[in-house]
Amino acid sequence: MFYGTDLSSRLMLGTAQYPSPAVLREAITASGAEVITVSLRREGKDGGAFRDILKDSGCRILPNTAGCHTAGEAVTTARMARELFGTSWIKLEVIGHADTLQPDPFALVEAARILCADGFDVFPYTTEDLIVGERLLEAGCKVLMPWGAPIGSGQGLRNIEGLRAMRAHFSGIPLVIDAGIGSPSQAAQAMEMGFDAVLLNTAVAKALDPVQMARAFGQAVAAGQMAYTAGLMPRRDMAHASTPVFGMAELLP
């Protein structure tokens, strides 16, 4: 549940970089996603037509502050997005490093505090740092979105142990893996670890067949969630036979 909203799909899909509006529309449908993200940077001369696609999808829109490098920029962008899309949901991005696109934790917390006080439901794009996560919750966030790897890198879950620690530390908080997911297997892995959702864009939009890839991600996320709730077998250091040798008949020569 995210800010009081229950979702049946655990996949959140970005809407940038698709080869055509038609492909975007088909990919959203094929993915089964119920939440789609959009940046105000898409609002150019064809902004009205683009918004029609988003509206027709029937999905919940999660605007984002992509491209912002200061808390002030992010706050201003979020307020514009609320007016434009009519939603209090905002994916908060405040980039601090140009090469890795790693979020600036200080500006991120500052912007989150302002936006939460202003009535926004903030989805902060952050790292797996536990202290930053604590500060974001203190600022009023009720969801955390740690990166799997740098945006668009396709590296998957680069810090497995750090993400496991975050999942264990914030056991009652919805956590969404955001950024760096490059394949359906990586998305399934995140869900098997107990994360609540996965948000991705490039891996679908830049695929040879975005529609087929969107369908694959939707099924992978669902499979990972199903496996987690079913209870994954623990890893063992030694082999463990499925048929025990104790109690078996001993055949003498």
Instruction: Retrieve residue 185's tokens.
Output: 């297997």
Mark whether 206 is an active-site residue. Answer: no
C-alpha closest to that of 94 among 81, 77, 119: 77
Say if CB 221 and CB 187 are below 8 A apart: yes
DSSP 8-state symbol, 250 = P
DSSP secondary structure string, 103-119?
A: B-HHHHHHHHHHHHHTT
Phi, psi at residue 61, to the nearest 5°? -90, 130
In residues, how long is the chain? 253
First to last CA, the chain: 64
Per DSSP bridges, beta strands 60-64 and 197-200 are unpaired
Instruction: Write out the binding residues.
Output: 152, 179-180, 201-202
CA 218/CA 197 separation, integer angstroms: 11
Say if CB 144 and CB 124 are below 8 A apart: yes
Instruction: Write out the binding residues for 1-deoxy-D-xylulose 5-phosphate.
Output: 152, 179-180, 201-202
Catalytic residue among 45, 55, 91, 142: 91
Phi, psi at residue 122, to the nearest 5°? -95, 130
253 class by beta-carbon count within 10 Å (0-12 exposed, 13-18 middle, 19+ buried): exposed
Q: What is the three-class DSSP state of 45?
A: coil
Active site residues: 91
